[in-house]
Structure 1
Amino acid sequence: MLSVRIKEKAARIRLLALDVDGVLSDGRLYFAEDGQELKTFDTQDGHGIKMLQSAGIEVAIITGRTTALVQRRAANLKIKHLLQGREDKLVALKELITELGYELDEVAYVGDDWPDLPAILASGLGVAVANAHSELRTRADHVTTLTGGRGAVREVCDLLLHAQNRYDTALAPYLAI
């Protein structure tokens, strides 16, 4: 059960910002003999992102690494805001919200490790995934029940949609018979 405080914070969110490794993926990196990097992404996380976008909530990816794989995933999900190679995620987030005309209290940021902490603390709704470093879990506003790369992002998407009374709207295309 979500606290009133978390529901109130979630009701103000206009932008969901996500880390990649450990949040959109399970955090493991796979390398083939030829050097090709592989990651796994959860399709339900992806669908949650699409539902958020259809409800008018923007989504951004902010990651310290730079890979074509993440660029491809962002394109597949029609995520317009992809900031790769950004070690200082709070600086990247502030640049993005300035560009979009948002305030930090209108952002939910989801992370799993130390580089995410400043953005988690500064955001209107700072979220740590269930498998995040223990220090992040104690400092975040909310901790998911599911782990990164295994439904945590979908959980946050659903939380935002419910808090904003947009869940039924996001489901409407699937319920029309």
Structure 2
Amino acid sequence: MEEKSYKEYLEHITTFIFDVDGVLTDGSVIVTTDGEMLRKMSIKDGYALKLAVNKGYNIGVISGGTNEGVRLRLEGLGVKDIYLGAHNKMDQLNDYFNKKGIKSENVLFMGDDVPDLPAMKSIGLPCCPQDAVPEIKAISKYVSHKKGGDGAARDVIEQVLKVQGNWNDLYDAKND
């Protein structure tokens, strides 16, 4: 039986799950003298996240990190389902699915490193940024041409929304 192209999954996606470090950021941190760890996120990813929220898609973020600045940024984009400090991402993923009544075949999960592996193996469309580790690239049905923190999330959101006819009102994501 021939493997389906990732594009055949796009029309059925209702839910996006993203890791933070290495996906919504470039995976690096700037450590200040008082120990605060600063991350950089893409405005283009933010636009796409806000548009997807406004169009009614489920957006979840599951990250091992615990930076409250990340939570504030995502909440500002309308993302409500944010799991920080997630050391076993399957627990949070299962909780999220049960809470929202989500089926795994309708989920796109974008991760970049080994901690994302079990969760990514359990969903319909595992994806990763161009600079993900080899183990994640090996199980991904789509590897973005964009790096983490540099438009990879926008890439997958835009593809899904375009296929489903929802990438049309450029003013839906104001104030990203």
TM-score where L is the length of structure 1: 0.91
Equivalent residue number for residue 91 of structure 1: 91
Q: Name whichever structure is richer in helix by fraction.
A: 1
Aligned with 1:127: secondary structure?
strand
Report the alpha carbon displacement of residue 75 of structure 1 after superposing the two structures with TM.
1.5
**AA at the equivalent of 1:69:** G
**AA at the equivalent of 2:170:** L
Aligned with 2:66: secondary structure?
coil
| Counterparts of residues 84-163 of structure 1 (less than 5 Å) | 84-163=84-163
Equivalent residue number for residue 23 of structure 1: 23
Query: 1 CA distance for matches of 2:172 and 2:123?
Result: 31
Contact 1:8 1:163 in 2 (8 A): no
Kindly report the root-mean-square deviation, in angstroms, between the aligned alpha carbons of the 2 structures.
Answer: 1.6
Query: 2 CA distance for matches of 1:80 and 1:140?
Result: 26
Query: 1 CA distance for matches of 2:65 and 2:143?
Result: 24
Equivalent residue number for residue 80 of structure 2: 80
Query: 2 CA distance for matches of 1:55 and 1:71?
Result: 21
Equivalent residue number for residue 41 of structure 1: 41
Change (3 A) 1:118 1:70: same
Change (3 A) 1:173 1:34: closer
Aligned with 1:72: secondary structure?
helix
Contact 1:59 1:79 in 2 (8 A): yes
Query: After TM superposition, what 4+ stretches of structure 1 lie above 4 angstroms from structure 2?
Result: none
- Could you give the per-residue CA deviations for residues 49-90 of structure 1, whole angstroms, max 9, x where no partner exists? 111112211211100121111111112111010001111112
Report the alpha carbon displacement of residue 30 of structure 1 after superposing the two structures with TM.
1.0
Structure 1, gaps ≥5 residues long: none
Instruction: Report the count of equivalent residues.
Output: 171
Identity score, percent: 30
Query: 2 CA distance for matches of 1:34 and 1:172?
Result: 40
